[in-house]
Structure 1
Amino acid sequence: MRVAWIGAVSMESASSKSQTPMNSRNTYLPDHAVSPGDVLDEHREAIGLTQAELAQRIGFSPKHVNRLLAGLEPVTPETALKLEAVFGLPARVWLALEARYREHLAREAEHAGLAVELPWLDQLPHRALAKLGWIPARLRDVELVRALRAFFCVGSLNYLPDVWGNVQAAYRKAEAFQSHEWALLAWLAQGEREAERLGCRPFDAAGLRAVLPELKAMSRLPGVTFVEPLVRRCGEFGVALAFVPAPDGARVCGATRWLSKDKVLVQLSLRYKTDDQLWFTLFHELGHVLLHGKRSQFIDFEKAHDVNVQEREANEFAASQLVAPNALAQLIEAGDFRIATVQAFAGQQNVAPGIVAGQLQHRGAVPFRHPLSKLKTSFRWTHETRAA
């Protein structure tokens, strides 16, 4: 069995993308901010104005001026213009002081809110995400909460059940998330990040269906050289194809989710890490895209037992698109399963020999422990140890 390493398109780019918003936080943020009221008080005293006199000059009540000096009232654009006239300090400076001060107060409040969310660290698979490079490693406590907020694109981890509840409903009816399901949702979130960077034309069902034979033929390319042309070609018909490794605990094979009416995300995890499984999963998801409309989303798991009508249709679509059913039936009837015979048959079908071997095994024509397994290509992510 040949081994190929997937990484240039998926893992490396996913890692760099996921860390971009984290790196932007690594700038110096002082733990204090100057209140515009303090600056105003200094300028008032410098020119010898009482608070009452300042109130007269800017048309405010003494109480309002007192609250302004205490930082209890904001410096509005109108107030900034009045202060500019009195003290000569440009309005933009007053407004900048106000913005920085309010941001500082908001960050102080946020820090307290982050601490409240620490219990989430017992549920979310942050170690697995750090291992994959999706969040920075070695973060702890509130900084880890902050990183997870950014990863899931939520203002608070408490919002996660509402944000991802519709995804959960797509595959189970329980009211509460199980711990392992957060690994799945993290995988889906990373898929969305990948999809953001993939330029796609508007979805074209007819064009996608017409190009399926070309996509299938890419399975014959050596190693992982198919990845870039496959991703590019899918994008030309509105399909954002993302290869994303599944975090520990997420026993998922693939997913199909419509991000908009013109863009659909097809996400693959390489769960079984062989070419027959990869290509079958891809065409299974494309079957969902072409057969089942834009209102549904599909998440396909390892060894799923509850196979509904739509899943059976996607399975049949994938099998028939990869290998002509009549031709496969004739091969099985002939009973010649020598490696050379299967290689020649795969050439006639313009598909990788490993895919034919997988279909023969799935139909019980040959056992899974059979010399034909040597025809399969095995894939590994670049982050995985090659010793494995």
Structure 2
Amino acid sequence: MPINDSISTMHKNTIQRNYEPDYAVPPGATLLETIDSLGIDQRELAERTGLSAKTLNLIIHGKAPLTQQTAMLLERVTSVPARMWNNLEANYQEQLARLQARRDLAEQIEWLKTIPTKVLIDRGFIQPSRDKVVLLEQILNFFRVAHVDAWKEGWGRGQFAFRKSEQASAVDGRLATWLQIAELQAEQMDVETYDKTNLLAAVQRARSLTRQSPQVFLCKLASLFQASGVAFCTVPEIPGAKISGAAKWLSPTKAMIAVNRRGKKSDLFWFTLFHEVGHILNDSKKEAYVDVTYSDDPRERFANDFARTTLIPAKHDGRLASLKTEKLIREFADEIEVDPGIVVGRLQYEKLVRFDQFNHLKTTFEWAG
């Protein structure tokens, strides 16, 4: 079964429940039926159990709990096992809690507008429902938080190290959804114990794949990173989530790198991939942070420099200014064995050529699935 399908199935199994009534039945209702069948009224039951008539009346109407001690007394009088009375009380209290939780969630429905609910439904992470509270419960389950305030607190702190487009704002529902899908996907991947030396070797082998199509290089990349202790995945774009990629430590021995399928140009994909590798190589396993824009943060500088020099080694920097024609760009790309679009992207970034020049040399990816 494909990873995405297994993730969706996991969530469907988690969120599907039997019909739950919008009311709670106290164990006292069963108690009344039981004593009626025995020909005992409430006054006589109070005498036989030693409970006051007031206490018994409160229990029957669900205004006082049916304690374990009371359950033992009822067992002696009615021959109904104490565990049944205890179970009835536990079920009653649970249903009361669910009803209160539903009322609490109903006050937070407005937050749903910030989440791409349709995307989650279309991709099988939640089930469609006309009941907004049911949708909200499913989405909280998807994010693994108990309530909206917990979501705001967690995502507000920033749980990922990632490089965003400059136009993107702070972490919002669309971005958080993309990141959560990435993490769920990565969690399903079995990888070897992380090894920095193996990862550095994998980077060099990955660089040799820049001239191939996604249909060829994606499986090879996954295998290379798997052997290094890194779960690598690509996640389809969520409209409005202007993120290029993400990096995170899932455990002390397992890292995650995710790349957005938003960009279809080779230079963006490969720079993002190696940028995230730079985060894994350099950043603390315990530290979580969010990069809202390109900045002078030393961690960002390291990740950018790592991606830049991996794709075009620094020893070639002095030659870049001379690459003014398509022929020279292609010859240089052949020499250093990378896709010519990567060279064009670097030249454009360095303002050595205009952003409208040589774009036809950039490979356009067609993502499957």
After superposition, the C-alpha distances for 1:246-295 in whole angstroms (9 at most, x for unaligned) are 43222211222333333333222133222321121111011011112224
After superposition, the C-alpha distances for 1:39-89 in whole angstroms (9 at most, x for unaligned) are 112212222334354345445444433332222333445544443343333
Aligned-pair distance for 1:166? 1.2
- The answer to whether the Cα contact below 8 Å between 2:115 and 2:173 also exists between their aligned partners in 1 is yes
Q: Which piece of structure 1 moves more, 355-364 or 312-321? A: 355-364
Aligned-pair distance for 1:379? 3.6
- SS where residue 243 of structure 1 aligns? strand
In structure 2, what is the equivalent of residue 188 of structure 1?
179
Identify if the C-alpha distance between structure 1 residues 196 and 168 changes in structure 2 by more than 3 Å, giving closer, same or farther.
Answer: closer
Mapped pair 1:280 → 2:267: no
In structure 1, what is the equivalent of residue 156 of structure 2?
165
Amino acid at match of 1:87: T
In structure 2, what is the equivalent of residue 344 of structure 1?
334
Aligned pair partner of 2:134 in 135, 140, 143: 143
Aligned pair partner of 1:209 in 200, 203, 208: 200
- The answer to whether the Cα contact below 8 Å between 2:43 and 2:53 also exists between their aligned partners in 1 is yes
How far, CA to CA, are the matches of 1:336 and 1:86 in structure 2? 98
- The answer to whether the Cα contact below 8 Å between 2:114 and 2:172 also exists between their aligned partners in 1 is no
Q: How does 1:298-309 map to 2 (within 5 A)?
A: 298-300=289-291, 304-309=293-298
Q: Which piece of structure 1 moves more, 65-74 or 365-374? A: 365-374
How far, CA to CA, are the matches of 2:256 and 2:122 in structure 1? 24
Amino acid at match of 1:155: A
Q: Which piece of structure 1 moves more, 336-345 or 158-167? A: 336-345
Mapped pair 1:40 → 2:45: no
Mapped pair 1:72 → 2:63: yes
Q: Which piece of structure 1 moves more, 276-285 or 364-373? A: 364-373
How far, CA to CA, are the matches of 1:217 and 1:18 in structure 2? 37
Identify if the C-alpha distance between structure 1 residues 105 and 98 changes in structure 2 by more than 3 Å, giving closer, same or farther.
Answer: same
Aligned-pair distance for 1:314? 0.9
Amino acid at match of 1:252: I
In structure 2, what is the equivalent of residue 266 of structure 1?
257
How far, CA to CA, are the matches of 2:7 and 2:264 in structure 1? 19
Aligned-pair distance for 1:317? 0.5
In structure 2, what is the equivalent of residue 225 of structure 1?
216
Q: Which piece of structure 1 moves more, 368-377 or 43-52? A: 368-377
Aligned-pair distance for 1:212? 1.9
What is the root-mean-square deviation in Å for CA atoms of aligned residues? 3.5
Give structure 1 regions of 4+ aligned residues with deviation exceeding 6 angstroms: 168-171
TM-score by length of 2: 0.80
Identify if the C-alpha distance between structure 1 residues 146 and 90 changes in structure 2 by more than 3 Å, giving closer, same or farther.
Answer: same
Q: Which piece of structure 1 moves more, 361-370 or 67-76? A: 361-370
- The answer to whether the Cα contact below 8 Å between 2:160 and 2:288 also exists between their aligned partners in 1 is no
Aligned-pair distance for 1:376? 1.2
Mapped pair 1:323 → 2:316: no
Q: Percent identity?
A: 33
Amino acid at match of 1:306: S
How far, CA to CA, are the matches of 2:248 and 2:57 in structure 1? 56
How far, CA to CA, are the matches of 1:300 and 1:163 in structure 2? 16
How far, CA to CA, are the matches of 1:134 and 1:352 in structure 2? 36
Amino acid at match of 2:20: L
TM-score by length of 1: 0.77
How far, CA to CA, are the matches of 2:198 and 2:354 in structure 1? 37
- SS where residue 62 of structure 2 aligns? coil
How far, CA to CA, are the matches of 1:229 and 1:99 in structure 2? 53
Mapped pair 1:21 → 2:11: no
How far, CA to CA, are the matches of 1:246 and 1:300 in structure 2? 19
Which ranges in structure 2 are unaligned for 5 or more consecutive residues? Answer: 163-168
Identify if the C-alpha distance between structure 1 residues 179 and 164 changes in structure 2 by more than 3 Å, giving closer, same or farther.
Answer: closer
Higher relative contact order (CA 8 A, sep 6+): 1
- The answer to whether the Cα contact below 8 Å between 1:199 and 1:235 also exists between their aligned partners in 2 is yes
Amino acid at match of 1:312: R
After superposition, the C-alpha distances for 1:152-184 in whole angstroms (9 at most, x for unaligned) are 22222233222222118989xxxxxx7872322
- SS where residue 378 of structure 1 aligns? coil
In structure 2, what is the equivalent of residue 112 of structure 1?
103
Q: How does 1:354-373 map to 2 (within 5 A)?
A: 354-364=341-351, 367-370=354-357, 373=360
Identify if the C-alpha distance between structure 1 residues 55 and 198 changes in structure 2 by more than 3 Å, giving closer, same or farther.
Answer: farther
Which ranges in structure 1 are unaligned for 5 or more consecutive residues? Answer: 1-7, 172-177, 383-388
Amino acid at match of 1:359: R
- SS where residue 256 of structure 1 aligns? strand
How many residues of Structure 1 are paired with residues of Structure 2 in the alignment? 361
